[in-house]
């Protein structure tokens, strides 16, 4: 049974991306578990803090969740045509110390999806993740693509996915990703 850790790259309470991640969890088929993680509590990366105190507790907790997963689902907003700083910051923390990168990220299957109020979804943010994932040694799953554009029409005010067409696309995406994880074991 694939255990996928989904990480929302938004801190907003009614985030479209956290809502998309919750919907992925709800639509995951039999035999697939999606755990939901957010970035709350992860401070800005500071090498002096790391040298003095080590990794913060929130970072260590997220690392443990990554290690306990069979794959990662990055659910990314797009800010100014790129990766949100808070999301990249969390991955930077997770990559410390560098000697731990192979165990945490090496050949780990990673899929990227996202939702945005704009007309192009999160295509630029998703593309911006590719060199980061390659640098970390992840196995980017490119068997599908999910970009929710005009998210204000797909989600309600609380960030709950209402669009049944998108829900169906999401369920198909998660099923194909989970099948790839199973096949790669």
Query: How confident is the model at residue 138, as a pLDDT?
Result: 97
Is the distance from CB of 105 to CB of 154 less than 8 angstroms? no
Percentage, residues of the chain above pLDDT 90? 98
Distance separating alpha carbons of residues 3 and 157, to the nearest angstrom: 29
pTM for this entry: 0.97
- pLDDT of the residue at 185: 77
Q: What residue ranges define each of the domains in the chain, with the CATH number in brackets?
A: 3-184 (3.40.50.360)
Mean per-residue pLDDT, 28-54:
96
Work out the pLDDT band at 77, boundaries 50, 70, 90: very high
DSSP helix, strand, coil percent of the chain (3-state; round to 5): 45, 15, 35
> What are the tokens at 64?
């443990």
**For residue range 118-152, what is the model confidence (pLDDT) as tens digits?**
999 999 999 999 999 999 999 999 998 999 999 99
């Amino acid at each position: 049974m694939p255990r996928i850790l989904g990480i929302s790259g938004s801190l907003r309470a009614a985030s479209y991306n956290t809502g998309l991640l919750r919907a992925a969890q709800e639509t995951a088929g039999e035999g697939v578990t999606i755990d939901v993680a957010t970035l709350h509590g992860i401070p800005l990366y500071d090498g002096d803090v790391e040298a003095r105190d080590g990794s913060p507790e929130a970072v260590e907790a997220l690392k443990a969740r990554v290690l306990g997963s069979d794959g990662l689902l990055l659910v990314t907003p797009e800010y100014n045509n790129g990766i949100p700083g808070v999301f990249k910051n969390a991955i930077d923390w997770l990559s410390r110390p560098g000697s731990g990168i192979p165990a945490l990220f090496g050949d780990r299957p990673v899929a990227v999806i996202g939702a945005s109020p704009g007309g192009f979804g999160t295509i630029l943010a998703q593309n911006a993740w590719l060199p980061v994932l390659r640098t970390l040694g992840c196995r980017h799953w490119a068997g599908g693509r999910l970009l929710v554009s005009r998210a204000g029409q797909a989600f309600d005010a609380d960030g709950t996915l209402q669009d049944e067409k998108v829900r169906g696309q999401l369920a198909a995406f998660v099923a194909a990703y989970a099948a790839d994880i199973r096949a790669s074991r």
